[in-house]
Amino acid sequence: MISQQGSVEIVHISLASDTVAKITTGHHVISSFARSTTTNELYAVITTSSQPSEVYRLLDGDKEQVTTTNASLTSEVSFIAPDYFQAQTSEGHSVDTWVYLPPKSYTEPVPGVVEIHGGPMAMYAHAFFFEFQLLASQGFAVIASNPRGSRGYGASFCSAIFERWGDRDWADIETAVDAACERHPEINQDALGVGGGSYGGYMTAWIIGHSNRYSAAVVGRPVTDWVSMVGSSDVGWDEARRAGGKHPWEDDSWYRQQSPLTYVEQVRTPVLIEAQEGDLRCPIEQAMEYYTAIRYLNRVPVRFVRYPDEFHGMSRNGKPWNRIHRLDEILNWYNRFLTTQPL
């Protein structure tokens, strides 16, 4: 399978002819597939932006739905199909962008939430995101994009931020937000939130340390201090490659410049921080350092929620009640600072 411009497709790779041919194509994500041992047919698990995953039989470029696992849910809930477009940057490249609008008439501007994916070498996609659907159903316009650093757009696009985060990627995110607001004037630019997890948490912390554009932030399982990450994360030792081969005890200038904690005194955005106590990728001490600094400075509201017995992927594979609790916390935070009707 390959990732390409927000889709995940099945391909056939011929070693004999050194060619790659797509077997599937479309605005969808295929998460797994198998070939029948009796009929030689392909079966795949496919999702789209407004349709949860189901199993399909693939027939000569067409697909036939086999399972109806989510039929009872889709009969009760109308999921939102996002507006998908490419935002054009001043540097000449485009940024894939998705906007999920609340399912109602707009008698007044609606608040917006900018979502930033993890990785950074990952991507948002033409896939079903429950969190996006939930936020939109509760009256928020959700803006998601694939800035430089994302996968699915070629090696140079993906590696463009290797040595420095918070520069080209941030520029692309803001380009997508500007384009979304211009395309959808019903979005209230004076009531924008920003959030994400892992690299998305890092970028959220970076942005609010450099800009006052956003009225609320959700910093999830973040990186905030690269010096301590080197000694505590399961991949921290590898950061020296991005730092020009230098470890922090040799020269910590890159590590300090790249750490959101360095800019914490400039934060003027209310911050919800959520982290998992068993996280080995972005250890909870990263969130603790950031919370402690903001709380000590006492300039903005801050809330720290920590989940015991959970790991880095809790939002996707954690205990059901903790996942529900996390979504409630996020909704409450955005309602508190972006709307006049807090929960």
Helix H or strand E encompassing 83: strand 83-88
Q: How many CB atoms lie within 10 A of CB 245?
A: 9
> Is the CB of residue 33 less than 8 Å from the CB of residue 2?
no
Asked if 105 is an active-site residue, the reply is: no
Distance CA 173, CA 166 (A): 10
Q: Which candidate, 220, 242, 231, 236, places its Cα nearest to that of 305?
A: 220
Which residues fall within 8 angstroms of residue 317, CB to CB, at 6 or more apart?
none
> 202 is written with which tokens?
């890092």
Distance CA 333, CA 314 (A): 19
Asked if 312 is an active-site residue, the reply is: yes
Q: What are the b/e assignments for 295-334, b being 16+ CB within 10 Å?
A: eeeeeeebbbbebeebebebbeebeeebbeebbeebbebb
Q: How many CB atoms lie within 10 A of CB 120?
A: 24
Q: Facing residues of 217 across strands?
A: 194, 271
- The SS3 assignment for 197 reads strand
- 248, exposed or middle or buried, with CB in 10 Å at 0-12, 13-18, 19+? buried
- The one catalytic residue in 49, 53, 145, 198 is 198
Catalytic residues: 198, 312
